[in-house]
Amino acid sequence: MEPPATASNRSSRRLLFDRRYGWVVDEWKDPSEEALAGGRGMFCVVPLTKTLFQTASQSINSVVKFLDMKLQNSKSSIVDTSGDSGSKSNVLD
């Protein structure tokens, strides 16, 4: 995407006074070009792997908890249908 003709005629540099540094030359750069200029498509594998492992671990833990809860419910319903009140109270405790 090319910049408009009027933007190319104007200077992207300007002289500004900053209280911390005094007179400085400020150069405006297109954010879309700057975002792509510094990156070279590199990324760090360690944080990505850590995040992937944590997400997979949380998913597995939630599935195991869900299945455990379902198994506990199915065991208590089997005990309820047997008619034995002694084993029923042991399951609920």
Looking at per-residue pLDDT, the higher value among 66 and 8 belongs to 66
pTM > 0.85: no
Confidence grade of residue 47 (pLDDT, cut at 50, 70, 90):
confident
Into how many domains does the chain fold?
Answer: 1
Looking at per-residue pLDDT, the higher value among 60 and 13 belongs to 60
In a domain, 64, yes or no: yes
In a domain, 88, yes or no: no
Show the DSSP H helices in 1-93 as ranges: 5-9, 31-38, 45-82, 85-92
In a domain, 89, yes or no: no
What is the residue type of 7? Answer: A
Residue 75 neighbours by CB under 8 Å, 6+ apart: 91
Confidence grade of residue 63 (pLDDT, cut at 50, 70, 90):
very high
Q: What pLDDT sits at residue 74?
A: 81
Between CA 26 and CA 79 the distance in angstroms is 78
Rounded to the nearest angstrom, the gap between the alpha carbon of residue 25 and the centroid of all alpha carbons in its chain is 38
Q: What range does the domain containing 75 cover?
A: 46-82
CA atoms within 13 A on the CB side of 8: 4
